[in-house]
Amino acid sequence: MTSREKILANIKANQPDLRPLPEQYTFVSTFPDLTKQFIDVLTFVGGRALVVPDYAAIRADLQAQYPNLKSVATTIPELADLADRTMTVSDPHELADLNLAIIEGPIAVAENAAIWVDEQQLPQRVAPMITQYLVIVIRQSTLVPNMHDAYKQLKVDTTGFGTFICGPSKTADIEQSLVIGAHGARSLTVYLLP
């Protein structure tokens, strides 16, 4: 008997009688203003959020935030002029010196400020972690109230990898002191288009 067969046989012999799944496992969250809720939570977790009317406003803010920054890449055609390199590389190690990645997020969650991205937005999976600074552009119209709503819209296996990102990478492993910029991006800026 293989280990697989042994384990599965033991489980079958020992598991209790079938219990049904609960009828209620999704809940409705109501926020008076989804955009405000998203921004409040993102700010709380150390991110920066800005409501902007158009790409020109994003460009202006990025130029002010990161003047003369080199090694900038984006997947957004409207902001292509800000980039001096690409994230579309065959070996993810080529992104080791990436300073700024500007990507889009198709769905964002108001209750916890998590933004979903998968390989439709990411030329390389490691891009949003390996970059020094991360920018995600979302549309207010794609904000959903909570995680249940997000999973209703998402198909998590459309691509081989997807992740919810909520704020910049951080740690509190040294005496519970919050430090932003652990291994992933040192900052996250989210622009909210209409």
Partner 1 sequence: MNQLNLDHASAAVEFNKDEPRVDWHDETLWFVRTKRDRAAAQLPEWEQLREAASQIKNHVLSNMHDLLAQFEENAKQNGITVHWAENADEHNAIIHKLIQDAGVTRMVKSKSMLTEECHLNDYLTRHGIEVIDSDLGERIVQMRKEPPSHIVLPAIHLKKSDVGETFHEHLGTEKGATDPQYLTEAARQHLRDTFLTRKVALTGVNFAIAETGGFVVCTNEGNADMGAHLADVHIAAMGFEKIIPRAEHLGVFLRLLARSATGQPITTFSSHFHRPRPGQQMHIVIVDNGRSRQLGRPDFRNSLKCIRCAACLNTCPVYRRSGGHSYHSAIAGPIGSILAPNLDMKLNADLPFASTLCGSCSNVCPVKIDIHDQLYKWRQVLMKEGYGPGSKTAAMKAMATVLESPSLYRVAGKIGRGVLRFTPVLAENRFNPWYNQREMPEPPAESFRDWYINNKKV
Under rule CB under 8 A, which residues in 11-50 are in contact with partner 1?
Answer: 11-22, 24-27, 29, 41, 44-45
Is 185 a binder of partner 1 (CB under 8 A)? yes
Is 123 a binder of partner 1 (CB under 8 A)? no
Is 88 a binder of partner 1 (CB under 8 A)? no
CB 54, min distance to partner 1, A:
29
CB 81, min distance to partner 1, A:
28
Q: Which residues contact 47 (CB under 8 A, 6 or more apart)?
A: 113, 166, 167, 168, 187, 188, 189, 190
For partner 1, the closer CB: 79 or 105: 105
Q: Which residues contact 163 (CB under 8 A, 6 or more apart)?
A: 116, 117, 118, 128
Is 171 a binder of partner 1 (CB under 8 A)? yes
Alpha-carbon distance 191 to 194, whole Å? 10
Under rule CB under 8 A, which residues in 46-75 are in contact with partner 1?
Answer: none
Element (H, E) at 41: helix 34-44
**Contact window for partner 1 (CB under 8 A) among 50-58, 71-79, 100-108, 122-130:** 122-130
Both tokens of residue 173?
């492993």
* Cβ neighbours, 10 Å, residue 102: 24
CB 107, min distance to partner 1, A:
13
Is 174 a binder of partner 1 (CB under 8 A)? yes
Alpha-carbon distance 193 to 52, whole Å? 5
Find the binder of partner 1 among 33, 54, 70, 161 (CB under 8 A).
Answer: 161
